Chains A and B, each alone.
Chain A
Amino acid sequence: MNPGRGKKREGFWADAGKRLKRNKAAMLGLMMVILFILVAMLAPLLAPYQPEQIDLFSVLTPPSREHWLGTDYYGRDLLSRIIYGTRISLAVGLTVQLISLTIGTLLGSLAGYYGGKVDLVIMRIVDIVLSFPSLLLIIAIMVALGPSIFNVFLALGLVSWTRTARIMRSEFIVTRERDYVKAARAIGNNHFRIMFKHILPNCLAPLIIIFTMGIANAIMMEASLSFLGLGAQEPTPSWGSIINNGLQYLRTAPWYSLFPGLAIAYTVLGFNLLGDGLRDALDPKMKDV
């Protein structure tokens, strides 16, 4: 190990941590995200009812002491459904980011490291995927695969890796010329080891930013798909599908669609605030990513 380099990295992360802590908006975002994750983990303890518990004697009741946020068309408790909905959103955010970061990092680093024809082919694939308006491509994939929450993971993951690929490519192009990479090559490391053992750990900062922002985006996209009836199916308590179901009762039971929308806005805002803060703290150059 090179002690000098290790110290420098530590300094970078410590500095970034300090910058992040000073950023009030980012800390608010962090707290919102932590609360969201806690609700998802503790859902069975927090929810007053089972999310699928049907009660036909209290259909579409307005918010009351028994049902804080009212009930839906089947008399299910909306608060409980929204609380369990955090699990769907969290699962979507994490899984989609796992898929898209894996594909994006792999293709982006190959393109950036090897350059030439590999780069050309990979970047043309990126161009083609990016030339679809994302929702249309996701809709087409969902129609082809059939609506289910698992297919939502797959469709969103398959469409959203391009940004990661582009950023990782440019990181690798810069990094592959660094002295320590040349040194690693000179002492006979193979390409795989150089790419993933030497270069990749130095590209962690942009990956963290993409990860955070990507979760917000994935949650929003899942909600949109479920709202169009292409995502999670009944009785899964996805926020988007609750809004969709409530839409026809908008005049008589506005709370039905109101609260799940607030939940989406809260969660996405939390991740966006945190993402903005992380970007400013980790990489001031990376604007508008």
Chain B
Amino acid sequence: MFQYILYRLCLVFPVLLGVMLITFFLMYIVPGDPVLTMLGQHASDESIARIRAQLRLDDPWYSQLANYLLRTLRGDLGRSYITHIPVRDALLQKLPNTVRLALAAIVVAIIMGVTIGIISAIYQNSWIDYVAMTFALLFISTPVFWFGMLLVFFFAMRLGWFPISGMGDGGWQYLFLPAITLGSRFAAFLARYTRSVMLEIIRDDYIRTARAKGVKESMVVLKHALKNVMIPVITVIGLNLASLLNGSVLTESIFAWPGFGRYMVAAIQKRDFQVIAGSVLVGAVIFIFFNLIVDLLYVALDPRIKYE
């Protein structure tokens, strides 16, 4: 087990290096001159030359790369071409909002997904099961941004129950619709997976033993089976972490939620490449570390798992 943990930790370094290389080269081949984005079309030749020198844009690629790697490792992600605010500071300010949204979505997903999955498994092949699983597949097939838009239309615009967008004073009513939007697709994955795990669990010997001892059926489900549902929860969170991050970019755009995704999408529209590069890099780093945590949690939860 310790060997696996060590191996898994060492694996992070080449991956991080690869991620930095990819981000660098993508931004290196970006068409158009970033200096024109900063100074506008009517900048004088001297000021363009000065900024180019400042950003080291005339250096050969390998020296730009070395410079990029060094400053990134120091935690310097550059400054926005437009607002001149350091990308790191802006991200540190936006990320907590994204984390809040993601956590709320995970809570929504676990409550809805695990419940629906367990009920579906208990009533396997009944109409309840069919309806639940049809809805799950429907949610997986529905674009997140479109579902969010429907919620805004009905619950914010027509019924006026919730604010249309933004984070306001940070109250729960602002969080509600975005969390449902982001969480429902996740809940659908979770419901499907929980169901299949439950179906295996309720046929297991120890459940039969519990029943044979005369334990009440509700207790069998709640006490004995539910304990083993933690593994699918972690699996689904692990497998769909990318989908959660992708979804948060889209959800934040719909709801004007002041998080990491909206910050990046706004930068795309303004062609603010430094911000885009920094956000992509930070998004990937967060993703890498969460995957690491999920993998390690696995080992902790299920001692049978070893590296292949």
Contact = CB atoms under 8 A, between A and B. Distances in A.
Interface string A24-66: 0000000000000000000000000000000000000000000
Interface residues of B, number: 52
Contacts, number: 141
B268 A146 contact: no
A134 B284 CA distance: 9
B245 A136 contact: yes
Count class of interface residues, chain A = 35 or more
Interface string B252-271: 01100000000011001101
Interface in A229-255: 229-230, 240, 243, 247, 250-251, 254
Nearest to B25: A144
B131 interface: no
Contacts of A287: 196
B22 interface: yes
Contacts of A131: 15, 18-19, 284, 287-288, 291
Given A265-B138, A288-B193, A228 B253 contact: yes
Contacts of A265: 138, 141-143, 146
Interface in A250-282: 250-251, 254, 257-258, 261, 264-265, 268-269, 272-273, 276
Interface stretch (A6-14, A176-184, A219-227): A219-227
B146 A273 contact: no
A144 to B, nearest CB: 4
A133 B245 contact: yes
A257 B146 contact: yes
Contacts of A118: none
Nearest to B244: A133
B283 interface: yes
A140 B280 contact: yes
B149 A261 contact: yes
A261 B246 contact: no
B143 A227 contact: yes
A204 interface: no
Given A128-B15, A288-B239, A136 B280 contact: yes
A272 B273 CA distance: 36
Q: Which secondary structure dominates chain A's binding surface?
A: helix
A143 interface: yes
A128 B25 CA distance: 14
Given A128-B18, A144-B27, A261-B146, A224 B246 contact: yes
25 contacts: A127-B11, A131-B288, A132-B287, A133-B246, A135-B242, A135-B246, A140-B23, A140-B27, A143-B273, A144-B26, A144-B31, A224-B143, A224-B246, A228-B250, A243-B146, A243-B149, A247-B254, A261-B143, A265-B146, A268-B141, A268-B143, A272-B137, A272-B140, A272-B141, A288-B239
Interface of A: 124-125, 127-128, 131-137, 139-141, 143-144, 146, 216, 220, 223-224, 227-230, 240, 243, 247, 250-251, 254, 257-258, 261, 264-265, 268-269, 272-273, 276, 287-288
Q: Which 6 A-B pairs have the closest CB atoms?
A: A261-B146, A128-B18, A135-B246, A269-B141, A133-B245, A268-B141
